[in-house]
Amino acid sequence: MSEKDFISKPFSSTIENGSFQWSAPSNIALVKYWGKKENQIPANPSISFTLNNCKTITKLAFAKHIDKLSVTNNGFSFDLLFEGKPKEDFKPKIQKFFERIEIYCPFLKDYHFTIDTENTFPHSSGIASSASGMAALSMNIMSLEKALNPNMTEEYFYKKASFLARLGSGSACRSIKGSVVVWGNHAEINGSSDLFGVEFPSNIHPNFKNYQDTILLVDKGEKQVSSTVGHDLMHNHPFAEQRFAQAHHNLSAIKTVLVNGNLDSFIEIVESEALTLHAMMMTSLPYFILMKPNTLEIINKIWKFRNQTNIPICFTLDAGANVHVLYPENVREEVLQFIAAELVGYCQNGNYICDEIGTGAIKI
């Protein structure tokens, strides 16, 4: 499929007003996306677990314009509510998103929207809400497009939702479906695309069923360097080409592991990917560090615990200081005890979130 396939055709139906509501989860990458080309095309393929509990819930109410001439803001008209209250500082991001997807969804200009959004996780937790937020909004927009074009297939509906979410925030395209999603062209993943996320095409080994992710909230502050700036610094990065090749290689390796259930190999790939992501940040120009001292304390404790107990627990990191602790469901009790006894002290205000693999966006 190409970008052109996502430009909507003239519709047979009309709809004056109504509303939709979708929830979409966050996701955690196992092989990381870091570096992009124009139009949110990833520099390398990535793969993630879709989460279950960390979600954004978004209601999109729409009413057709009677008088389009009074619409400003480049032709887009919307109000934005966060937890029921107007939130002006989120608006520029949505405005930019609408402008980016206008060519694919020209019908957006026919309506005034009220976007009412909330997260199940605390706003200031340091967990990025852009993936779940852009995914939830994209699902709503696709529900509207489907109302205008009732013949749309389910396959196209989900592909275009992921395509739109990607234009909002790259990794958001992996938050539409579950439980494991690949985004970016990869020679060994059938149907993989730079334009949207696809479900991992093979059967996943039972070891990964209900895989757990406990997110340790080390630092809830605003990041010093945004993901956008970080991705940009991969242009002319001295290790960029090796890194992109490594991601292809690691995706091949993890593909095998997800099928054969080898947890030692899983741990090695996932931890190496997390540290490589942060190594790229540390070797960018300008260089930067998003890990905090407590991030390293936690990593060392996890390694010690794993060595002592042989429990297959590992960590991964996204673009921040928080630590995602990944482990199979059958060791949940032991790991939660370990976290409560030894890791909580490194979390800001002792906060952490228990999550697990989920199935993707849900219509409410």
Residue 320 bridge partners (DSSP): none
Nearer to ligand PMV, 175 or 214 (CB): 175
Are 132 and 140 in contact, with CB atoms under 8 Å apart? no
Return the HEC string of 65-125.
CCCHHHCCHHHCEEEEEECCEECHHHHHHHHHHHHHHCCCCHHHHHEEEEEEEEECCCCCC
Name which of 290, 126, 293 is nearest 224 in CA terms: 290
CB of 114 to ligand PMV, least distance (A): 26
Question: Strand 197-199 vs strand 111-119: parallel, antiparallel, or unpaired?
Answer: unpaired
Q: Torsion angle, CA of 343/171/356/90, rounded to 10 degrees?
A: 80
| Residues in CB range of 221: below 8 A, 6 or more apart | 126
CB of 27 to ligand PMV, least distance (A): 7
| Residues in CB range of 169: below 8 A, 6 or more apart | 130, 131, 133, 134
CB of 336 to ligand PMV, least distance (A): 25
The residue whose two tokens read 């007003």 is 17
CB of 151 to ligand PMV, least distance (A): 32
Nearer to ligand PMV, 77 or 125 (CB): 125
∠164-326-203 over CA atoms, to 5°?
65
Nearer to ligand PMV, 33 or 352 (CB): 33
CB of 267 to ligand PMV, least distance (A): 18
| Residues in CB range of 56: below 8 A, 6 or more apart | 23, 24, 117, 118, 119, 120, 129, 132, 133, 135, 136
Nearer to ligand PMV, 216 or 319 (CB): 319
CB of 222 to ligand PMV, least distance (A): 14
Nearer to ligand PMV, 146 or 174 (CB): 174
Nearer to ligand PMV, 58 or 227 (CB): 227
Beta strand extents in 170-211 (DSSP E only): 180-183, 197-199
CB of 32 to ligand PMV, least distance (A): 4
Residue 178 is encoded by which pair of tokens?
């579950």
Residues engaged in binding ligand PMV (CB under 6 A): 29, 32-34, 46, 128, 130, 169-171, 227, 231, 277, 318-319
Nearer to ligand PMV, 50 or 130 (CB): 130
Cα-trace Rg, the chain: 21
CB of 277 to ligand PMV, least distance (A): 6
CB of 16 to ligand PMV, least distance (A): 35
Are 244 and 280 in contact, with CB atoms under 8 Å apart? no
Nearer to ligand PMV, 143 or 171 (CB): 171
Nearer to ligand PMV, 226 or 309 (CB): 226
